[in-house]
Chain A
Amino acid sequence: MDKQVTITINGLAYQATVDTTMTLLQFIRDEAGLTGTKSGCENGECGACTVLLNGKPVRSCIILALEADGAEILTVEGIATDGALHPLQQAFIDHSAVQCGFCIPGMLVASKALLGRYPNPSETQVMEALGGHLCRCGGYKAMSEAIQSLKQ
């Protein structure tokens, strides 16, 4: 029942032998050792495990690693380049959008996908994009302002 899969995460190909008990989130955290992506509700509801799969935001806790064979994944570790923070990361810091930080890895990759779809997102589009991401510290205002500060 084991199958070998190759999943490219942040540009690096990871190979492992997996079965149907392993989620993509487990693959990212335990096989690739990238623990920036968080395990929250494990039900696809909270958004902490969000990663980009072939450019689109998905819930890695309810996708099997087998389903992602051959896919390109982007996690929060992959959005900074050459040691420089991604503009979204800097904007989140500048707007004090981070309190406990648990939801932030998911928020950041979802925001990156949002800006890919809508370079000048409206407040409604931002809230729609963050609607599936639970933040129980401070709410969404600072995050929305951070994202909207990057409008072109």
Chain B
Amino acid sequence: MILNACPYEKPTTLQRLLELNQTPGAKLLAGGTDLVLVMKENKAEPALLIDIKNVPELHGIYAIPGGIFIGAAEPIQEVVEHPLTQVYHALVEGAGRIGCYEIRLRATIGGNICNGSPSADSVPGLLLYDADVVVAGRSGTRVSTLESFLLGPGRVDLQEGEVLLGVNLKTPNPNAKSKYYRCSRVKGMDLSGISAGIYCEGKSNFRIAFGAAWPTVARAKAAEEILNAGPYTPERLQQAIAATLETVHPRRSSMRASPEYKRAMVGELIQMGIEELTGGACNG
């Protein structure tokens, strides 16, 4: 039950949204699948609730020069179904694992990013394709890498008054393939214990991203460097896994998977993903 009422505004222009967002303590409401829960637990008491769903600049999935734009207020299910997103396999698969159909119709891609969850299911896919974020503030619009936007659990690089407009994704290499793997306790509505997005172009240019392995969703850069330094061999794969494990130190208090389980899955997911994408076990 939500105990305390607050003012509610539903702006229809970006300019008005940015004006309202100057209010100290204002919170942006998109799908509400996280924020309304937090309000019900009385852990968030916004000074002003700004419903952003009627601002046109935050909507649409459309082609831009060199790629596509996905508006922050687009529902997850739109990202899953839209024809322009289908080439970003790990994004579509990851987004499709969020909640259930009803949740995906409300929850938004911008919400999944800005919530800053280390296990956000849409984010590994976005990172694999080097997504950029488009952020609007009163002094104008800036574009940054999604990687630099993710700061820590629950924290993203939005300055006072700034709003995420959406993400830009580059057109992928025609040989690019990717997959999303999620380990969760049950197949249906659940959150990720650990997840991985794996990307490659044929048998080269491997990219790996993990969810719930580090304080933010992030790329496994050390593993990528080793894998991409020469031909793909079993030895290189083991080196890549070992290099990744040196950086994975999950908290004991992690809620959905033990540290031992997470560490065990790191190697499994890298190996399974690469073997599936490259068409079988490597034979050196």
B1-49: which have CB < 8 Å to A? 1-8, 10, 29, 32-33, 36-37, 39-40, 49
CB–CB B100/A131 < 8 A: yes
Interface residues of A, count at CB 8 A: 29
Q: Is B272's CB within 8 Å of the partner chain A? A: no
Contact of B8 among A43, A63, A66, A131 (CB under 8 A): A66
Q: Is B102's CB within 8 Å of the partner chain A? A: yes
CB–CB A63/B102 < 8 A: no
Question: Known: A45-B189, A110-B102. Contact between A3 and B32, CB under 8 A?
Answer: no
CB–CB B51/A62 < 8 A: no
CB–CB A20/B32 < 8 A: no
B75-122: which have CB < 8 Å to A? 99-103, 105-106
A1, B45: Cα distance in complex, Å = 14
B183-210: which have CB < 8 Å to A? 188-189
B2 → A minimal CB distance (Å): 4
B38 → A minimal CB distance (Å): 10
Binds B, one of A51-59, A96-104, A142-150: A51-59
Which residues on B sit within 8 Å (CB–CB) of A58?
102, 105-106
Which residues on B sit within 8 Å (CB–CB) of A20?
2, 5-8, 39, 49
A142, B34: Cα distance in complex, Å = 32
A59, B105: Cα distance in complex, Å = 10
CB–CB A47/B102 < 8 A: yes
Residue from A2, A3, A62, A66 having most chain B Cβ neighbours under 10 A: A62
In the complex, which range does the number of interface residues on chain B fall in? 20 to 34
Give the nearest-CB partner of A43 in chain B: B37
Contact of A132 among B5, B36, B188 (CB under 8 A): B188
A144 → B minimal CB distance (Å): 14
A30 → B minimal CB distance (Å): 12
Q: Is A115's CB within 8 Å of the partner chain B? A: no
Question: Known: A47-B102, A132-B100. Contact between A19 and B36, CB under 8 A?
Answer: no
A135 → B minimal CB distance (Å): 12
A94, B106: Cα distance in complex, Å = 33
B58 → A minimal CB distance (Å): 15
Those 7 A-B pairs whose CB atoms lie nearest each other, nearest first = A132-B100, A19-B5, A21-B2, A62-B36, A131-B188, A57-B102, A1-B5
Chain B positions near chain A (C-beta within 8 angstroms): 1-8, 10, 29, 32-33, 36-37, 39-40, 49, 51, 53, 99-103, 105-106, 188-189
13 cross-chain CB contacts under 8 A: A1-B5, A20-B5, A20-B7, A20-B49, A23-B36, A44-B99, A50-B102, A62-B33, A62-B36, A62-B40, A63-B32, A63-B36, A67-B53
